[in-house]
Structure 1
Amino acid sequence: MRVLIVEDEVMAQQSLARSLRQEFSDMRIVGTAGSVREAVDWLRTPGNTADVIFMDVELSDGDCFEIFRQVEIAAHVIMTTAYDSYAVRAFEVNSIDYLLKPIDPAALRRAVERCRTSLEHLDASRLLDAIGRTHGYKQRYIVRFNDRIVPVNTSDIAYFYSEEKNTWMVTSDNNRYVMDLSLDILSEELDARSFFRISRNCIISMAAISSVVKYLGNRLKIQARPRPDFEMVVSRSRVEDFLRWLEGGA
């Protein structure tokens, strides 16, 4: 297996490389990167391919999730970090495993075995996810509720909103989940035929709209299902685009 190591701490990079060489004779380290920029450059270089990427979460110029925004990654990703707070986001980008530093040898062997199994046998969940995508738009999100990780299909989402620096997802059955993603990122991932960003603080699903009424200052107010705890108002600058979208012109 060809391995790329993305790690900004030289000692940690060398230690992982040494462990891989000692434990796994079929692993060949084909590249290393210490930053988002270096990783993106390596992945974009013709001829550079990896089967597995060991990826530290916090890099010298940002977090590793920025890499996924800039380049498509086909390799299996094993994330490494000193913190457990990134677990949900790791699942969202289809990381195959999540290792806490210092990396336990048994956990490393488990992660590598998962990669081998997935490379040898087509992973059914990934196939279903690929089939479930429409024109590359996001079809489900992984959210955390207490100690549980919950998959939510986008067809079950009523709206997203931001409040006090948090982003919230509200489902059609009125469950609410806090998310790690901003509304800017969500806007890029969602199908524009089904979701519309009505303001800086809210994205709504077509299916969640009960009615629309005129509001102060040539704006529009939405009555939504489930009923929000805030006034759901379409910004004046987005009214025309919203009406076209509502009529199916998006």
Structure 2
Amino acid sequence: MRVLIVEDEIMARQSLARALTQHFPDLHIVGTTGSVRETVGWLRTPGNVADVIFMDVELSDGDCFEIFRQIDVTARVIMTTAYDSYAVRAFEVNSIDYLLKPIDPAALRRAVERCRAGGAATDTARLLEAVAPPRGHKQRYVVRFNDRIVPVKTADIAYFYSEEKNTYLVTVDNNRYVMDLSLDILSEELDERNFFRISRNCIVSMQAIASVVKYLGNRLKIIARPHPDFEMVVSRSRVDDFLRWLEGEE
């Protein structure tokens, strides 16, 4: 069987590849990818074919469910996850196998044997219906801080901002992390009831707003908690929409 490994952590990718090669000589690893974009590109490339995909849930540029939104995946998919219990439940219901990290050798053998036994390919529509969170309502982001991977709930986020081609996430307790996603993508994923894009360079959460004052040029300035290192100004074209959002109007 031809295997594609989708995993953004190099050590985890190498460990899985080593285990597959050592214990299952009939499996042939035909490719490895580490992001949504890279995976979609690989699957769309003529000649690239995989019978089985080992797919991490959280990738460098978003969750793996975005892959299924962009392309019809015809291979059987085995998910790998450290904490996504919702995925585990859905995969059980849909007869899609899963591996909890760190991957147990017995569980890996079970997954491979299920693939060898045949069965239908991943039902993309059912998978998305069962496990993919609605677009625009992201529940959590995975960020990197030095050598650590840190899950951050959207409920704990004060604001996002971009500066010098980098995107930053700031939490309510004033921790700051660099992100791989752009503000354009974040705008599509966040719950618009709780987050508002006040300008090209900033998205703010409702809970971070302490007060709002008038600013130059008929704009508004937000006094935010925690205090930002920049002036948090609502652009002129967004003032009316911002005030309606602040008042809770649809």
- Using structure 2 for the length normalisation, give the TM-score: 0.58
1:233 corresponding residue in structure 2: 233
1:52 corresponding residue in structure 2: 53
**Secondary structure of the corresponding residue to residue 248 of structure 1:** coil
Shift of 1:216: 0.9
Letter of the structure 2 residue corresponding to residue 215 of structure 1: Y
Note the 1:37-186 alignment, pairs <5 A.
37=41, 39=43, 52-53=53-54, 67=67, 70-71=70-71, 75-76=77-78, 113=108, 116=111, 137-186=137-186
2:211 corresponding residue in structure 1: 211
Asked if the contact 2:157/2:170 (under 8 Å) is kept, the reply is yes
**Secondary structure of the corresponding residue to residue 177 of structure 2:** strand
Alignment partners' CA distance in 1, 2:163 and 2:230: 10
- Per-residue CA deviations over 1:97-146 (Å, capped at 9, x if unaligned) read 99xxxxxxxx99969818839x8xxxxxxxxxx89957772111111112
Give aligned pairs, total. 194
- Per-residue CA deviations over 1:217-249 (Å, capped at 9, x if unaligned) read 111110000000100001111111111111112
Change (3 A) 1:37 1:178: closer
- Per-residue CA deviations over 1:12-34 (Å, capped at 9, x if unaligned) read xxxxx9x96995389799xxxx9
Q: Within the alignment, does 1:36 sit opposite 2:40 as a pair?
A: yes
User: Matched residues, percent identical?
Assistant: 60
- Using structure 1 for the length normalisation, give the TM-score: 0.58
Q: Within the alignment, does 1:192 sit opposite 2:192 as a pair?
A: yes
Alignment partners' CA distance in 1, 2:155 and 2:237: 27
Alignment partners' CA distance in 1, 2:235 and 2:136: 28
**Secondary structure of the corresponding residue to residue 149 of structure 2:** strand
C-alpha root-mean-square deviation of aligned residues, in Å?
4.8
Q: Which runs of 5+ in 2 are unaligned?
A: 7-16, 30-37, 57-62, 81-86, 89-97, 115-129
Asked if the contact 1:218/1:236 (under 8 Å) is kept, the reply is yes
Asked if the contact 2:159/2:204 (under 8 Å) is kept, the reply is yes
Q: Which runs of 5+ in 1 are unaligned?
A: 8-16, 43-47, 56-63, 79-92, 99-106, 120-129
Asked if the contact 1:166/1:179 (under 8 Å) is kept, the reply is yes
